[in-house]
Amino acid sequence: MASGLIFDYRSLLQTAPLITSTCTLWFSLDQDFFLDIFLHSDHRTRSNEILPSYFRVFFRHGVVRVLSLLTLTMSAGGYNIFMDGQINKTSLKWYTAGTLFAASHLLFVPAIAPRVQAVVEDTSHGSSTKDLKDWLAINRVRTWTVDLAARACFLVGLSIVE
pTM equals 0.90
Residue 55 burial class via C-beta count within 10 angstroms: exposed 0-12, middle 13-18, buried 19 and up: buried
Q: Give the DSSP per-residue string, 31-67.
A: HHHHHHGGGSTTTHHHHHHHHHHHHHHHHHHHHHHHH
- What are the average pLDDT values for consecutive 10-residue runs of the chain, which has 162 residues? 66 93 97 94 89 91 95 95 81 95 97 93 86 95 97 95 75
Query: Among residues 16, 18, 58, which one has the least CA distance to residue 37?
Result: 58
- What pLDDT is recorded for position 112? 94
pLDDT at 1: 47
pLDDT for the residue 4? 59
Summarize pLDDT for 96-132 with one digit per residue, the tens.
999 999 999 999 999 999 999 999 998 877 789 999 9
pLDDT value at residue 126: 78
The rounded distance, in Å, linking the Cα atoms of 139 and 111 is 10
Contact in structure between 94 and 160 (CB atoms under 8 Å) = yes
11 Cβ contact list (under 8 Å, min separation 6): none
